[in-house]
Structure 1
């Protein structure tokens, strides 16, 4: 889990204005620095003799260069913003509104805009500060601006390439899947290496719920984005309290419903002091909210299946990525609800989803809207096969139960003979991977 410093840095980096603003401040500092260097070079005859005269310009040429460079970089910035708006419009109409943040928060996009804006600011600030003073008539800083402009041209070419990649739905699907898998790997432990809830771990919860807790409300409504789990448990240990969360990651938290229930065991505490361990924002993020990453893939899939777009191949790609994400998720201990400190005392109770919940939420809408599409139904069955073949018996049983739900939806549909034969082969293969141990002859 993330520390408080990492959480704050994540907040800053997720802001679209952070990198451009940071680069702009650096550009202002460099403009002032290089103007001062101009005067230092002039009075340092040894350094001035080393540098070739081609790197120095007079005031008139310097003003012309800096004016032309600042105008060009401003044009590049405008074109870049226009291109970004085209990409965002495409995402809204073709993919999903939830996918906008993937492009906007991409570090390459922010970095490129930061380079263009900082180049413009460097040129315009240098133009403002540059003037003849104390006999200084030759300047080096316009050469720096020219070099910076050449670098910006390279970044502009890279930006066009970057946009051409992000506008492709296959790349977007891959990025969402990779980010979701990374979040799973960072926030959950493998089942064989993690601590599982034992029957006695929650005996304290039944005991304390006989008493009235302290109710904690958030100050501003929003989505629960992050939980600083380790720091929260450590603070609960120091204050000797037991905390129960009433919301899950990704839930919208209002100011009226109690966000936390806290039971002090030894002393009076400031219940609101626990709110900084939770990050509430105006939108959901995939950093710890695994379900949000799955939701993005599902929405792209549903959009592809809509009559206006009718792109089943994109839907199949989304289903394949859903299978990969759920395969990794099935290997993790995602159902842990009770967290103890190092003394084995209960400190935190969470509302956790089960694997079956993630499985159902990933496919139930797709099954509904594509129940008569053989390619999509086949992709769902193939994804279930992949998940079952790479996970333990418990996950296989969940897949087996869910496959019966898929078959139940197919029973009311009429397929052509060849389609029915193809689907039957897929179902037989799924049965081999999911049939219970006590029923070796089980089949669909």
Structure 2
């Protein structure tokens, strides 16, 4: 079952999980104090029984310690973000901040601090002399926090490595592809009979719906949009794409049909925008981050071709999955097979070009990078059908055209020719192979 878009957007905010943990801690603190007031002393071992003075001392120590842990954690996070900003890409900072482990660790620290602080406020001299549950829970919580702090150090050590960052972006992007695109084998491209109405619509002037607010388009609820258009008996065309920045009042939809009893706010509510892009449905954003990491690694200031090669391989993994999906679907019909929604058509060739053209430009003089690009194309070709193989071979000619053949040394030329020949064989174009 897919998560609701609003829940996905909330989870993408850094403050959501820590705020949730803090709220739950306030409730738990109130409940534990209430249980202290009704529990019988004889029901628990003496090890759990402490007086008011000891309880306040314990809680004061735990509160100050957890505040220190939280401060250190925030400082460490800033160091990681600075590294991401200077070494990788400004857009990759979002991946660390929205990682569920990072948010949960801070949530545990903040929850423990809030819990201990609320208990200090609630435990008064007027209370009974003995307390049971509250201090015990606080001590157990503090021990758990120490374990989480050790895990946080390990977590940061892993995330500071670019290989783990690339893997995380790749995994999230592939997951988004599986969630938002049908397999080409299961859902074929649009048959001519499904979109016959679109030809007639070209002769009719549509009406437009404006955006309710400004921001980056993160999610479009297409299934609900089809249902709503069917209920209102109209045909809708989506005028914006995922990841686009839309201004308030600019057209997001054009539609054909009667405007009577049509509530535009119902349609606007199906377009979710945010202050920054996110890889919820916008797979282009994941590809953009990998391209930027690769380009930054190729820059003279960093000069890290091995990281660039890892980025190229990650792009190949995503494109391998993407090539198996039905990207060409642009018409959505209701249960009566009537056309209801039209969206922008996407092409695999566009993704190929947008992933490689900058890398080709800046890395064409590095033999290892050129070889990695050819290997990545070979990876995509080996796992896809004949049509995709043809696209791959045609695109490989674009990369070969950029190679400065006159400057290649003999061994470099031999190495690259072997790669190109293997690609020609994998794409079933061995007869079209011509060495450099």
TM-score when normalising by structure 2: 0.96
Q: CA deviation at 1:268?
A: 4.7
Aligned counterpart for 1:37 among listed residues 35, 38, 58: 35
**Structure 2 residue 83 is matched with structure 1 residue 90:** yes
Aligned counterpart for 1:15 among listed residues 13, 33, 37: 13
Distance 1:342 1:422, change over 3 A: same
Q: CA deviation at 1:420?
A: 0.6
Aligned counterpart for 1:386 among listed residues 346, 360, 379: 379
1:160 maps to 153
Q: Deviations over 1:253-301 (max 9, x none)?
A: 1235311101115955223421111111111111211111111110000
8 A Cα contact 2:8 2:280, kept in partner? no
User: How many equivalent pairs are there?
Assistant: 433
2:225 maps to 232
TM-score when normalising by structure 1: 0.94
8 A Cα contact 2:208 2:253, kept in partner? yes
Is 403-412 or 353-362 further displaced after alignment? 403-412
Q: CA deviation at 1:64?
A: 1.1
Q: After the TM superposition, which residues 269-284 of structure 1 pair with which residues of structure 2 at under 5 Å, given as runs?
A: 269-284=262-277
Is 275-284 or 299-308 further displaced after alignment? 275-284
Find the aligned partners of 1:209 and 1:270 in 2 and give their Cα distance: 24
Q: CA deviation at 1:441?
A: 2.4
What RMSD in Å do the two structures reach over aligned CA positions? 1.6
**Structure 2 residue 111 is matched with structure 1 residue 118:** yes
**Structure 2 residue 334 is matched with structure 1 residue 336:** no
Distance 1:142 1:148, change over 3 A: same
1:138 maps to 130
Find the aligned partners of 2:371 and 2:292 in 1 and give their Cα distance: 19
Q: What secondary structure sits across from 2:218 in the alignment?
A: strand
Find the aligned partners of 2:213 and 2:307 in 1 and give their Cα distance: 39
1:363 maps to 356
Aligned counterpart for 1:316 among listed residues 309, 328, 353: 309
Q: What secondary structure sits across from 1:262 in the alignment?
A: strand
Q: Deviations over 1:123-144 (max 9, x none)?
A: 111011102336x211121121
1:298 maps to 291
8 A Cα contact 1:242 1:264, kept in partner? yes
Find the aligned partners of 2:364 and 2:244 in 1 and give their Cα distance: 29
Q: What secondary structure sits across from 1:441 in the alignment?
A: helix
Q: CA deviation at 1:117?
A: 0.6
Find the aligned partners of 1:272 and 1:412 in 2 and give their Cα distance: 59
2:234 maps to 241
Is 89-98 or 141-150 further displaced after alignment? 141-150
Aligned counterpart for 1:419 among listed residues 412, 415, 423: 412
Q: CA deviation at 1:413?
A: 5.5
8 A Cα contact 1:372 1:413, kept in partner? no
Find the aligned partners of 1:231 and 1:413 in 2 and give their Cα distance: 57
Q: What secondary structure sits across from 1:156 in the alignment?
A: helix
1:183 maps to 176
Q: CA deviation at 1:379?
A: 0.2
Q: What secondary structure sits across from 2:237 in the alignment?
A: strand
8 A Cα contact 1:240 1:266, kept in partner? no
Distance 1:39 1:273, change over 3 A: closer
Q: Deviations over 1:340-362 (max 9, x none)?
A: 11211111111122000111011
**Structure 2 residue 68 is matched with structure 1 residue 75:** yes
Q: CA deviation at 1:211?
A: 2.1
8 A Cα contact 1:214 1:271, kept in partner? no
2:58 maps to 65
1:442 maps to 432
Distance 1:331 1:353, change over 3 A: same
Q: Deviations over 1:353-404 (max 9, x none)?
A: 2000111011100000011000000000000001011111221111111111
Q: Deviations over 1:216-238 (max 9, x none)?
A: 11122111111111111011111
Q: After the TM superposition, which residues 401-420 of structure 1 pair with which residues of structure 2 at under 5 Å, given as runs?
A: 401-411=394-404, 414-420=407-413
Distance 1:12 1:103, change over 3 A: same
Find the aligned partners of 2:192 and 2:311 in 1 and give their Cα distance: 38
Q: What secondary structure sits across from 1:425 in the alignment?
A: helix
Structure 1 gaps of 5+ residues are none
